[in-house]
Structure 1
Amino acid sequence: MTAVRVFGGDRLDVVDHYGRQPAELTVLATDPRAVVGTRPDAPATVLRHLIPGPDENGYAAARILSLLSDHHVHQQDSTATRLFDGPSPAGARVSFAVDADAVVLVAAPAAAMDLTGPEPNPPSEVRVEVHRADPRRPQVRELPAPLAEPLWETRVDAATASSYEVGAGQFIQIIDVAGQQCSDFLAFDARALGDGAEFGLDATTTRTIGGGAYPRPGLFGKFFDSRARPLVEVVRDTVGRHDTFALACTAKYYADLGYPGHVNCTDNFNATLSRFGVQPRRGWPALNLFYNTAFDAQHQLVSDEPWSRPGDYVLLRACSDLVCASSACPDDIDAANGWLPTDIHVRVYDSTRRFSVAVGHRLTPDSEPVLTKPTAFANRTGALTSNFTEYKGYWLPNSFDNHGPHQEYWACRERVAVMDLSALRKFEVLGPDAEELLQATLTRDVRRLSRGQVVYSAMCTEAGGVVDDCTVLRLGDNNFRFIGGDPYDGIWLRTQAERLGLGQVWIKDSSDHMHNLAVQGPSSRELLCELIWSPPGQPALRDLGWFRFLIGRLDGPEGPPLLVSRTGYTGELGYELWIHPNDAETLWDRVWEAGQAYGLAPLGLEALELLRVESGLVAAGHEFDEQTDPFEAGIGFTVPLKSKSDDFVGRDALIERKAHPQRALVGLRLDGNEVAAHGDCVHIGRSQVGVVTSGIRSPVLGAGIALCRIAVQYTAPGTRVEVGKLDGHRKRLAATVTTVPFYDPDKIRPRS
């Protein structure tokens, strides 16, 4: 639910962006006819079920309910105008004229997606647009809603700095009010400062412990003093682009550029920190939030306009009692603040609050940031490890305590392993035009796909580059499930549907409504046969063929519904189990319990990398991208140009590329024990002839191996090459070109 303030003369549009999503509109105003055309004759189901609480959702609910109270509306009596009932098309729009000032509440009611129904319809978002009658009306820029009840908050006015104290465990939210505004941040150990010793953020210590080229906010962000004691850790970052721990701007910087006497952050810090006894400096090394800096190809420090938008923030947690200072940088002589210095806002929250750890991702330049999410299996995997990484907007385990990547790897190769792969993006492609859309956008011939069958395909640009690889399941004549690795895949499919004029197709994101486990290894069939029940008309799990799926239930006909596909990413016999998040922990518990008799182990991303490279399986950003065609990426088998006569996106370019190939994917086996890495150059003599796309030390082969994209003239097995390290010339690793996959080249094991 969202609340929007409107004024007389405005126009309010509610858009069902993805289709088939009802909405509820409630108007809070003195004049009951403030928004023309509304008919509040239905229960406001979302409003009536809001529950205030101490967490973020509960706090947001409390703010909405306070609006109801302000307008003397009882929660359980609240009503709404119901919109988009029935199969509304994608992009359906309802417009309302506004005659008087009001607050409009717009909600998108949701129900759990039915995995086994004939037309699964996951809930989706709706968009609210306000067209102002007077765009010049003075409006106070609204800050994002607090994440919880703040202990206190303060505004740091443009070109100033403020100091403040924060207790251990408390949270500091630093908000860019108008966007593109740098905010330097300093922190000192308060107890040491009280004893006359200054221990503040230290760039060299932080960089050394963090192992990065330079310390920056974001994933795993922790910032240390010179004693190697942590002062703050990053809990959230909605921007993802900040500084290199450079100096806060100084008087010298401006004077050297011809602006003597210019106000600067260092002098502002000296003034505001003097009350705590902090000694002044001519330049403060600071954590420069929202400041967009980078190193170019020549390792020179460069800067440009910040990435931050209005309301973007960084949330920090104090690791000890701190004295802090925040600035609103006054730099108006270059792009550091988008040429216009503005305000910064600081909120501090109590240490008892709990906030999810996350970074923000924008799918498109105009979209809102989406924060990293845990999967439905997080409580179970989190009990086995704290080593998680951010992967495509979700947290997934890297490796597991008391196991480790190699033990997890061997469990999959020799016994059975279970892995959380919920970060895969799932899209329901529904409607009479669904097959035509997929036939026009995928390289594979979707018309040949039978119900119950899965196909692996590429999806290409007009130039033949790979947007993503994917698997597609056919659930019915007009029902498909598209599974890819990139959240942008849905936007690409919708864009193509609009281009082709296909009005009877819905692309609904079901990623949050269907999480999945991969159960892989030689014993996976025996393990799952004990758990999966198949109804009449569906194959038994024991009889399920390669790249086929069944719709069944866990532990019998009354158990939770799930879909089981005989697919995987390990090169072993294996299955993927797709289930609603509400039943995810039940599924994990049953697999874990039954798997103990088979030596089941959990599997993390590090072990998966070993498995997939040995098996010659490609990964986005490594073997393919939009500059690489399927033939160069080693998945040319997904492009049946002879048997698929229908046109599809990129077909003409792929015909040309296949006729005149320049590069191909091969394997490399290294002579020594060192490992090649993604991006390493591959040479014959002085000339570079290829590049390593993925490299590992193979446990089963006992040697360093790599996937390599190389000029077609050097693809013959046995060709001797060298992998360049350092600058590509000062260190070389001898290697031999081989075929791929390295392990089980005939795929006997997954087919078994």
Structure 2
Amino acid sequence: MLNRVSAQPGLTSRYAGLLQPNVLRADVGYGAVESLRVPAGAVVAITQIDGGAQAWVTALADDAATLGVTTLEGSAAASIPLDSSGFDSRMLEALTNARGGALADARGLLIFDPMTAAGESHIFRMPQAARIFVAAPVRPGFIETGGGGAFRVEIKLPDVAANDISLPDPLGKVVDEWRIPRGTATAYELQKGQFVQIIDVEGQQCSDFMAMRSEALDKGVERFIDSTVSRTMARSAYPLPGLHDKFYDQDIRPLLAVRQDTVGRHDTFALACTARGYEERGFPGHLNCSDNISDAFAPYGIGRRAAWPAINLFFNSWIAPADHAIASDEAWSRPGDYVAMQAMSDLVCVSTACPDDVDPINGWNPTDIHIRIYEETSTITHAVAWRANPEDAAKMTAHSAFHPRTSKLTSSYHVARDLWMPAHFDATGAVEEYWACKKAATLQDMSGLRKFDIVGPDAVALLQHCLTRDVSKLSVHRGFYALMCDARGSVLDDGTLFRLEDTAFRWCCGSDHSALHLREQAEALGLNARVLSLGGRMVNLALQGPKSRDILREVVFTQPSRPSLDNLKWFGFTIARLHDRDGPMFMLCRSGFTGELGYELFCDRDDALTIWDGLMAAGAPEGLVPMGGQALDMLRIEAGLMIAGAEFGPDADAMESGLGFAVDFKKPDFIGRAALERNAAATRRKLVGLHLAGNEVPHHGDGIFVGREQVGTITSGTYSPQMGHAIAMARIAVENAAPGAELEVGKLDGHMKRLAAKVVDLPFLDPKREKARA
């Protein structure tokens, strides 16, 4: 997906580059191919994000002169045939599909060499308009020896092309499209099954939307989107980032289903702007969306309203917690951002380009909105936009490589960063999956985990500086759990570090910020180490439960030079193959996030289904079932395992987050050591477990009280099927943290309702983690 960004005066933050005028941006991950429209005269810059990987660039036209005729900067790159560029057969197939034709005569540029550093660019000007394709080749053997690579493509557009090229590529077959000029509104009809895409052309421009059911209008009755009904049916309160999955009318009839949203921040509870609203602020006669909607609806016999309810797309608003007043600021939308919805009935719709220039909501400068209508047969999947970092191009949530198998077993998914992950499975449900992990085995798609390879002669020095454990003690085929802290001792990320070779490590973690932090530190210290992103190319499964080792014995093959399955100790790993020496390769780790005996498997996405099928077939006699995220949450809380945004984050250091066991003070130095050492001697808060008296589960953020005084906060809570009551992890004052201390969890206002709780040690079960070490 492309995002065009516009300049704003006075911006001084580190992200000022995001707002360069007339620039398209796309990121190309390891093993991926991106397709980009480029007008004649545009300047294309391809920049190394990771360093040390190649990029291959070709154009839709098989004319070698299309690319690189005017090289502005960077190493010379010869035009070469595609079949000599080192792509594997699957990458060739992906590129063939992207180009829409055979590649027999395709030529392109193979740029960057293995010594290219992160941040280096190859820049050229396009002599003619073309669709170009940028691919990141995969290095064979990256599973065992390390690999990865990513590139950023930035296209500086000629001013004459900027307004049109900022529009995203069509999502399907377009039936009709038009531009809504700023300060106006347009009514239009949607047939059942058709899609409407509402696009913010220049960014930070709000668009009010309303829809009437045609069948009711034909009977002289107005039935339109009702916010109260929609909120009730979606079981979701206002306000919230994003939109409801469906919008209903007053008869509880579904009118529209949201299919894609690249912004994730809209207003679905306030009115469109009104004449009265402007008059009361001293702007009589100001254009307003409510009057514009009435004028646009008039030809359909729809009555005028002084104030129209509406879905305020791209409107950034919220309810202030202090006084519950509605507040707003500039929109989050960037040029080319959009919302796509599918009509579930024949509709008469209206869209506006909001004229408000007296508030920040339109960036103080109202602009245009673009509308596209797609035919019913178009395939527009459910997706929302995700950015690991503010400067990244948006990614639409995609299905993982295991989706062809999991989708046959469930339709319940939740968003995990840039992927849809199963929440639970239809045949079992979360509780049955929980018990399967306790008594037999479960298989879970964990591909949302981030994987980075740190390679180079200074890899050890970089990791020693950034991690809380002693990397120098780590042998090949071994790993450990570690933290990455800032100078205050707050945990930036946690993860498992594995040593692949003497100068190659794999960091499996929760956040892409890890890679940014490592690269920044390598540059600041002048270290020769590369941080390579494996992106979506490496996927992973968690096989957990007491039967997991027995299942693996049926399918795992290891070479004599690698550790055998039965010799793997906790946090050890080996390189294995499925069934025999010719089977697909995977990295097999003795690790997991359930507190049970378990393993994790990391493999190439192209081998994902073969490995899933092999494990499920071998595990069927042992009672193996797939598991989703809901069961995992029960298991990890019972096991006292912490996650970002709950147990740790910027408001607590590692010691207060219950992670002191992962801090090695015997190391002479690492980022955050001084703060952690100081805080360890004077810790004011402690992470503890709570046994609740009943089944009611406390929520993250609930206060913990002794009498009238709040002494702590709930970080995570769940119902424990094994213990038969609710449990929670909580951060509380050390004076109240002794095991057996009786506390209360405050509900409602914290005082009107209390849940009795007793402090216990973590983890709740298996305190010596004997099951995981078995």
TM-score by length of 1: 0.92
1:718 aligns with 2:740: yes
Match of 2:420 among 395, 410, 432: 395
Counterpart of 1:82 in structure 2 is: 110
Contact map agreement 1:182 1:290 (CA 8 A) in 2:
yes
Letter in 2 for 1:90: A
Match of 2:332 among 307, 323, 345: 307
Q: What's the CA shift string for 1:145-200, capped at 9, x where partnerless?
A: 22233111010110000011112121111100011100001111122222222211
1:185 aligns with 2:217: no
Q: Per the alignment, in what secondary structure is the counterpart of residue 151 of structure 2?
A: coil
Counterpart of 1:71 in structure 2 is: none
Letter in 2 for 1:108: V
Match of 1:429 among 445, 449, 454: 454
Q: CA deviation at 1:252?
A: 1.0
Q: Per the alignment, in what secondary structure is the counterpart of residue 718 of structure 1?
A: coil
Q: CA deviation at 1:415?
A: 1.2
**C-alpha distance in structure 1 between counterparts of 2:726 and 2:645, whole Å:** 21
Q: CA deviation at 1:109?
A: 3.0
**C-alpha distance in structure 1 between counterparts of 2:717 and 2:136, whole Å:** 44
Match of 2:148 among 119, 122, 125: 122
Counterpart of 1:739 in structure 2 is: 761
Q: Per the alignment, in what secondary structure is the counterpart of residue 185 of structure 1?
A: strand
Counterpart of 1:670 in structure 2 is: 692
1:43 aligns with 2:43: no
**C-alpha distance in structure 1 between counterparts of 2:598 and 2:765, whole Å:** 16
Q: Per the alignment, in what secondary structure is the counterpart of residue 366 of structure 1?
A: coil
1:694 aligns with 2:716: yes
**C-alpha distance in structure 2 between counterparts of 1:48 and 1:670, whole Å:** 59
Q: CA deviation at 1:217?
A: 7.1
Contact map agreement 2:423 2:629 (CA 8 A) in 1:
yes
Letter in 2 for 1:205: V
Q: CA deviation at 1:85?
A: 3.0
Contact map agreement 2:179 2:369 (CA 8 A) in 1:
yes
Letter in 1 for 2:428: H
Q: What's the CA shift string for 1:108-127, capped at 9, x where partnerless?
A: 33344545666332342243
**C-alpha distance in structure 2 between counterparts of 1:31 and 1:568, whole Å:** 47
Q: Per the alignment, in what secondary structure is the counterpart of residue 320 of structure 1?
A: coil
Q: CA deviation at 1:44?
A: 4.9
Instruction: Give the unaligned 5+ runs of structure 2.
Output: 1-34
Q: Give the % identical residues.
A: 44
1:534 aligns with 2:566: no
Label 1:517 to 1:78 Cα distance change in 2 as closer, same or farther (>3 A).
Answer: closer
Q: CA deviation at 1:606?
A: 0.9
**C-alpha distance in structure 2 between counterparts of 1:94 and 1:426, whole Å:** 26
Letter in 2 for 1:42: I
Q: CA deviation at 1:264?
A: 0.8
Q: CA deviation at 1:39?
A: 5.9
Taking the TM superposition and a 5 Å limit, the aligned residue runs for 1:28-177 are 33-35=69-71, 40-44=78-82, 61=99, 76-96=104-124, 101-103=127-129, 107-115=133-141, 119-128=145-154, 130=156, 139-142=162-165, 143-177=167-201
**C-alpha distance in structure 1 between counterparts of 2:96 and 2:107, whole Å:** 21
**C-alpha distance in structure 1 between counterparts of 2:749 and 2:524, whole Å:** 46
Counterpart of 2:218 in structure 1 is: 194
Cα RMSD (Å)? 2.6
**C-alpha distance in structure 2 between counterparts of 1:517 and 1:362, whole Å:** 23
Counterpart of 1:69 in structure 2 is: none
Instruction: Give the unaligned 5+ runs of structure 1.
Output: 66-73
Q: CA deviation at 1:299?
A: 1.9
Contact map agreement 1:45 1:109 (CA 8 A) in 2:
no
Taking the TM superposition and a 5 Å limit, the aligned residue runs for 1:335-734 are 335-502=360-527, 504-641=528-665, 643-645=666-668, 647-734=669-756
Q: Per the alignment, in what secondary structure is the counterpart of residue 336 of structure 1?
A: helix
**C-alpha distance in structure 2 between counterparts of 1:46 and 1:330, whole Å:** 55
1:2 aligns with 2:30: no
Q: Per the alignment, in what secondary structure is the counterpart of residue 511 of structure 1?
A: coil
Q: Per the alignment, in what secondary structure is the counterpart of residue 618 of structure 1?
A: coil
Taking the TM superposition and a 5 Å limit, the aligned residue runs for 1:219-230 are 221-230=245-254
Q: CA deviation at 1:702?
A: 1.0
Q: Per the alignment, in what secondary structure is the counterpart of residue 291 of structure 2?
A: helix
TM-score by length of 2: 0.89
Q: What's the CA shift string for 1:601-653, capped at 9, x where partnerless?
A: 22111111111111111111110012221111111011111x212x2111111
Letter in 1 for 2:153: R
Contact map agreement 1:162 1:272 (CA 8 A) in 2:
yes
Counterpart of 2:32 in structure 1 is: none
**C-alpha distance in structure 2 between counterparts of 1:117 and 1:47, whole Å:** 21
Taking the TM superposition and a 5 Å limit, the aligned residue runs for 1:256-295 are 256-295=280-319
Match of 2:348 among 323, 331, 337: 323
Contact map agreement 1:421 1:515 (CA 8 A) in 2:
yes
Counterpart of 1:332 in structure 2 is: 357
Q: Per the alignment, in what secondary structure is the counterpart of residue 437 of structure 2?
A: helix
Label 1:598 to 1:136 Cα distance change in 2 as closer, same or farther (>3 A).
Answer: closer
Label 1:560 to 1:136 Cα distance change in 2 as closer, same or farther (>3 A).
Answer: closer
Contact map agreement 2:696 2:726 (CA 8 A) in 1:
yes
Q: Name whichever of 143-152 and 256-265 sits farther off.
A: 143-152
Q: Per the alignment, in what secondary structure is the counterpart of residue 609 of structure 1?
A: helix
Label 1:703 to 1:268 Cα distance change in 2 as closer, same or farther (>3 A).
Answer: same
Q: Per the alignment, in what secondary structure is the counterpart of residue 266 of structure 1?
A: helix
**C-alpha distance in structure 2 between counterparts of 1:33 and 1:602, whole Å:** 53
Q: What's the CA shift string for 1:483-529, capped at 9, x where partnerless?
A: 01112222222122222222x22211113111111111111111111
**C-alpha distance in structure 1 between counterparts of 2:695 and 2:450, whole Å:** 37
Contact map agreement 2:144 2:587 (CA 8 A) in 1:
no
Q: CA deviation at 1:76?
A: 4.6
Contact map agreement 1:524 1:574 (CA 8 A) in 2:
yes
**C-alpha distance in structure 2 between counterparts of 1:648 and 1:737, whole Å:** 33
**C-alpha distance in structure 1 between counterparts of 2:68 and 2:225, whole Å:** 56
Q: What's the CA shift string for 1:238-269, capped at 9, x where partnerless?
A: 11111032111111111111111111111111
Label 1:688 to 1:398 Cα distance change in 2 as closer, same or farther (>3 A).
Answer: same
**C-alpha distance in structure 1 between counterparts of 2:86 and 2:137, whole Å:** 15
Counterpart of 1:21 in structure 2 is: 53
**C-alpha distance in structure 2 between counterparts of 1:121 and 1:294, whole Å:** 43
**C-alpha distance in structure 2 between counterparts of 1:379 and 1:480, whole Å:** 31
Contact map agreement 2:146 2:506 (CA 8 A) in 1:
no
Q: Per the alignment, in what secondary structure is the counterpart of residue 667 of structure 1?
A: strand
Q: Per the alignment, in what secondary structure is the counterpart of residue 242 of structure 2?
A: coil
Counterpart of 1:254 in structure 2 is: 278
**C-alpha distance in structure 1 between counterparts of 2:631 and 2:67, whole Å:** 63
**C-alpha distance in structure 2 between counterparts of 1:45 and 1:149, whole Å:** 32
Q: CA deviation at 1:34?
A: 4.6
**C-alpha distance in structure 2 between counterparts of 1:219 and 1:402, whole Å:** 29
Label 1:95 to 1:138 Cα distance change in 2 as closer, same or farther (>3 A).
Answer: closer
Contact map agreement 1:116 1:551 (CA 8 A) in 2:
no
Q: Per the alignment, in what secondary structure is the counterpart of residue 108 of structure 1?
A: strand
Contact map agreement 2:433 2:626 (CA 8 A) in 1:
yes
Contact map agreement 1:264 1:331 (CA 8 A) in 2:
yes
Q: Per the alignment, in what secondary structure is the counterpart of residue 392 of structure 2?
A: coil
Q: How many residues of Structure 1 are paired with residues of Structure 2 in the alignment?
A: 727
**C-alpha distance in structure 1 between counterparts of 2:68 and 2:199, whole Å:** 36
Counterpart of 1:70 in structure 2 is: none
Contact map agreement 1:165 1:324 (CA 8 A) in 2:
yes
Letter in 1 for 2:702: D
